[in-house]
Structure 1
């Protein structure tokens, strides 16, 4: 009999990371290719992209059932901060985007993984805003760290996500939702920048 120890199964968050790694890397490169911090005009394009994404997700953050699953979720909604950033820079606020087409609460969890993960990665973006004289109370509110700190906040979110008791099929929906969120962001990036995908 083999004495080899079976590998521990990946946590839900680690499965999501593995399943979206390639899409995540591609989007990071796409965003930086457009040099969003080269000028206030460039940053304005980036803000409009963020407005579409976070606006499409606002109903998810405010959903009562999801707030029961993930207590405190509504407080993480960054759409008002994006609109405040646009106001700070005296940029016109686009019409509120349509809610994202999300098929189930489990898929919504995948979208939330994508959105909350982006806040962890926003530490680098937030540093770049300094060259435009933007900060957490003017123009870069939505990129600022959570009051508990980025890492601590992310760990708390992941713990909530990993603790949910889901079936294998429901877990597959979570992964599908995360992939759909990355696809949505990529498609909106191409639209905002007038590119053909």
Structure 2
């Protein structure tokens, strides 16, 4: 008699596959916005980024989120986005906090979207440098790598996601949180660039 053990996909694997369409939608929205065509367009993108990062960093206050992601204090880019807007001589945008009612485990989905965008921002950072003359010290702080590097920061985050400390029964809620975060950033981009 043989017994088979069902192998469940990891949370990070499920997130990657089950939010793939959302990820592609972000690429399409960014292409349509073309934020690196001018400093004005880029400033609009940073305004959206600031509001989204403010939403994400609100979740850092949750003790359960802090327990799940031990290096949380080194993450988040709201302050960098705020400084970039000042460099670009733009006022801080105002909007309601979209994550006010979000808690664990959905909060991890929001972090997944934020951390994934940080990992993928290398191309955006290069465009900001080459097309707009910006840098990690002026205007493009929000796109710069973490001090430990993009890949190391991502690996640490994925290790937290795939930890045994997260009950597999909560994975659907994390994925729902990621979809909500993608939807939020899509709305911010649409709102920001419709005013152009």
TM-score, length-scaled by structure 1: 0.89
Where does the alignment leave 5 or more consecutive residues of structure 2 unmatched?
none
Residue number in structure 2 paired with 1:176: 176
Residue number in structure 2 paired with 1:156: 156
Superposed CA deviations along residues 24-44 of structure 1, whole A, max 9, x for unmatched, are 111111112211001111101
Residue number in structure 2 paired with 1:193: 193
Q: CA deviation at 1:71?
A: 1.0
Q: CA deviation at 1:176?
A: 0.6
Instruction: Say which SS state the counterpart of residue 38 (structure 1) adopts.
Output: coil
Instruction: Report the CA distance shift for 1:99/1:64 in structure 2 as closer, same or farther (over 3 A).
Output: farther
Moved over 4 A (4+): 5-8
What are the equivalent positions in structure 2 for 1:1-197 lying under 5 Å apart? 8-95=7-94, 97-130=96-129, 131-194=131-194
Report the Cα distance in structure 2 between the residues aligned to 1:79 and 1:108, rounded to whole angstroms.
Answer: 17
Instruction: Say which SS state the counterpart of residue 19 (structure 2) adopts.
Output: helix
Instruction: Say which SS state the counterpart of residue 91 (structure 2) adopts.
Output: coil
Q: CA deviation at 1:68?
A: 2.0
Superposed CA deviations along residues 175-195 of structure 1, whole A, max 9, x for unmatched, are 110111111111221111228
Where does the alignment leave 5 or more consecutive residues of structure 1 unmatched?
none
TM-score, length-scaled by structure 2: 0.90
Q: CA deviation at 1:93?
A: 1.6
Q: CA deviation at 1:15?
A: 0.6
Instruction: Say which SS state the counterpart of residue 111 (structure 2) adopts.
Output: helix
Report the Cα distance in structure 2 between the residues aligned to 1:63 and 1:126, rounded to whole angstroms.
Answer: 30
Q: CA deviation at 1:111?
A: 0.6
Q: How many residues align?
A: 193
Q: CA deviation at 1:56?
A: 1.5
Q: Contact 2:35–2:44 (CA<8 Å) still a contact in 1?
A: yes
Instruction: Say which SS state the counterpart of residue 163 (structure 1) adopts.
Output: coil
Superposed CA deviations along residues 95-142 of structure 1, whole A, max 9, x for unmatched, are 364241444310001110111011011111000001211011110001
